[in-house]
Structure 1
Amino acid sequence: MTFQTWWLFFGAVFLLSGKPGPNMLHILARSVRVGLRRSLAAMAGCLSAVVLVLVASAAGLSAVLLASPVLFDGLRYAGVAYLVGLGIRAWRGRDGALDVPGHTGSPAPVGLRRLYRDGLLIGLSNPKLLLFASAFLPQFVEPARPQAPQFAILIVTFAGAELFWYGVYALGGRRLAASLTRPALRRAFDRITGGIFLGFGAMLLGTR
């Protein structure tokens, strides 16, 4: 892999990773609710999912999904159910107490293990990511050279771009949290994030 090829890949994944999606919304919402430091556990969960998907695509596991529509649909429906459940929790304000000044919400603080688990499941909720990665990564791999080191470089680069944007969204969440001191604004935040997660679930349900 040449430096020019790597640079082209980095530019593409940097732009792709920065697009608002379930992972980025989850990081932003977690930063608002539990604080920047504790949201690191959610970032670790999302990043673990991304790396697992990229490794799986490099190993050719996407062919299994393509060969088994039943398996793909099963994973898709599981992802839809999780996103919808998360959206309902967020809509009802039951996704953990908000970490904002003066807030004394009844939900108990969210543990680090759950923060990591939720981030991991969010990242794994869309099986189409595996198919996308399997089609995207090989375009930047030179067949004449050893492929494993090239895939490793691409995966590390992708993970680094994701992590950068996680930090950006988390910092944005902390700035947003300072504005959510009024109950009406907190309820609006719950409704908006919940509605977006429900929308992501509906979009995943409609994919084929």
Structure 2
Amino acid sequence: MFSTLAAFLGACLLIAASPGPSTVLIIRQSLRSRRAGFLTVLGNETGVFVWGVVAALGLTALLAASQLAYDVLRIVGAVVLVWFGVQAIRAARRGDGGRELVGDATRESGWRSYRGGLLLNLANPKAAVFALSFLPQFVPAGAPQLPAMVGLAALWAVFEIGYYGLYVWFVGRLRRILDRAAVRRRIEFVSGGVLVALGVRMALQG
């Protein structure tokens, strides 16, 4: 069991270290505030856990087997990525990418951050299919598959909360430098462009 968990956590580290749309969004939101960045992480990891549970129930096999279902989710995911990218570019043009909010606006912004991380993950069909192929490899021999995969999905999500939490902390430490208006606008433009490019690539992939 120990060797299996060690291998699983090592694989989780490699997955988290691979840059992707979630990483871009987490860094962008962390520039607004640590709270926004961490809530984006929580939203993203909720999506990771959801896909893990869905994989444990065998439902993602239907997605992997149905080209139509996969393509529909792929196009939705592409639209979501492009939308996030356009939002970042618009924020850069307005110059409000790093403003802090107070009161009800802060609560609304926090919910938006969490929802954004969740939506970005759930709209990614690759995340669903990957969970289906990834988790069963680490189920111990003789263990009941459903509870074991749900437990692994929870461990995966918790591990990534800790990993991406370091991103949030590190960006927060650099905010004094990154919070300059010109620097912030450039980062918003770059992150927005990357998200749009990733969305277009997802839309064009078969």
Distance 1:29 1:144, change over 3 A: same
Aligned-residue sequence identity (percent) comes to 35
Q: Which amino acid aligns with 1:43?
A: V
Q: How far apart are 1:46 and its partner, in Å?
A: 1.0
Gaps of 5+ in 2: none
Q: Report the secondary structure of 1:60's partner residue.
A: coil
Q: Does the Cα contact within 8 Å between 1:28 and 1:172 map onto a contact in 2?
A: no
1:20 and 2:25 correspond: no
Q: Does the Cα contact within 8 Å between 1:76 and 1:125 map onto a contact in 2?
A: yes
Q: Report the secondary structure of 1:92's partner residue.
A: helix
Cross-structure match for 1:149: 147
Which residue of 54, 57, 63 maps to 2:61?
63
Q: Does the Cα contact within 8 Å between 1:53 and 1:124 map onto a contact in 2?
A: yes
Cross-structure match for 1:4: 3
Q: Which runs of 4+ in 1 moved over 6 A?
A: none
Q: Give the whole-Å Cα distance in 2 for the aligned partners of 1:66 and 1:149.
A: 22
Q: How does 1:59-138 map to 2 (within 5 A)?
A: 59-93=57-91, 97-99=96-98, 111-138=109-136
- TM-score of the superposition, structure 1-length normalised? 0.86
After superposition, the C-alpha distances for 1:36-83 in whole angstroms (9 at most, x for unaligned) are: 124332222111111101111111111211232111111110110010
Q: Give the whole-Å Cα distance in 1 for the aligned partners of 2:193 and 2:113.
A: 20
Q: Give the whole-Å Cα distance in 2 for the aligned partners of 1:152 and 1:63.
A: 16
Higher helix share: 2
Q: Give the whole-Å Cα distance in 2 for the aligned partners of 1:96 and 1:136.
A: 41
Q: Which amino acid aligns with 1:5?
A: T
Q: How far apart are 1:156 and its partner, in Å?
A: 2.2
Cross-structure match for 1:29: 28
Gaps of 5+ in 1: none
1:52 and 2:50 correspond: yes
Q: How does 1:188-203 map to 2 (within 5 A)?
A: 188-203=186-201
After superposition, the C-alpha distances for 1:135-184 in whole angstroms (9 at most, x for unaligned) are: 11111113522223321331122112211122111122213422134432
RMSD: 2.4
Q: How far apart are 1:96 and its partner, in Å?
A: 9.0
